[in-house]
Amino acid sequence: MRKLVEQDIAAIAGTVLQEYYVESVRIKRGQFTDSDHYGIVLGRNVKGHYVTWEFHIDENEKPVVYWGHYFMENREAALKDFDTRDLDSLPSESEDSIGRYKVTITETLKLTVEVEAKNQQEAEQIVSDKWRNSEYILDADNFVGVEFEAVQVTQDD
């Protein structure tokens, strides 16, 4: 993996990566000697959903994206994440020790189906029964978002 340069940034901006149009791209900030070997991408897909990714350039001179933060239609949150997602890796003035964290990953899948029913409760019951009988299978095509929540581990945990 090599250091990113401004020509890499220019070459990636405006392209499509994993079906997302690259709106913005930049070199990562960080405290490690190889932080400048990584970058941050802001992308938007045809549904108007936003993502930020980290990336690096592989041995074939192609960008490899990973560690996505997904924002649905919330462009403002995606822009904030694009601007700040690597700042947590920078040391703060008060940082003097490393802590342990439990991080919960919650992925959200979504599918809307249409059924005939007498009322809302019956409609929900019909769909629930069909889902439990594996008539509706949600997969990566139904992915609509992911959240990460970190909680510091205390000595009582």
Asked if 4 and 38 touch (Cβ cutoff 8 Å), the reply is yes
Cα distance between residue 59 and residue 112, in whole Å: 42
Q: Which amino acid is at 7?
A: Q
Residue 75 pairs in a beta bridge with none
Quick: pLDDT tens for 29-55: 876 666 778 899 999 999 999 999 989
Q: Is the model more confident about 93 or about 106?
A: 106
Residue 33: what pLDDT?
Answer: 67
Range of lowest pLDDT (16-25, 84-93, 121-130): 84-93
Residue 88: what pLDDT?
Answer: 63
pTM of the predicted model as reported, rounded to 2 decimal places? 0.57
Residue 15 has pLDDT above 70, yes or no: yes
pLDDT band at residue 72 using 50, 70 and 90 as cut-offs: confident
DSSP 148: E
Residue 89: what pLDDT?
Answer: 57
Q: Is the model more confident about 96 or about 71?
A: 71
**Length of the chain (residues):** 157
What are the backbone dihedrals phi and psi of residue 24, each rounded to the nearest 5 degrees, phi first?
-145, 155
Cα distance between residue 131 and residue 66, in whole Å: 31
Quick: pLDDT tens for 102-157: 888 888 888 999 999 999 999 999 999 999 999 999 998 888 777 777 788 877 66
Kindly provide the residue ranges of all beta strands, DSSP E only, lying in the chain, ordered along the sequence. 16-17, 20-27, 39-44, 50-57, 63-70, 101-109, 143-152
Q: Is the model more confident about 147 or about 8?
A: 8
Q: What are the tokens at 21?
A: 């149009």
Cα distance between residue 32 and residue 109, in whole Å: 35
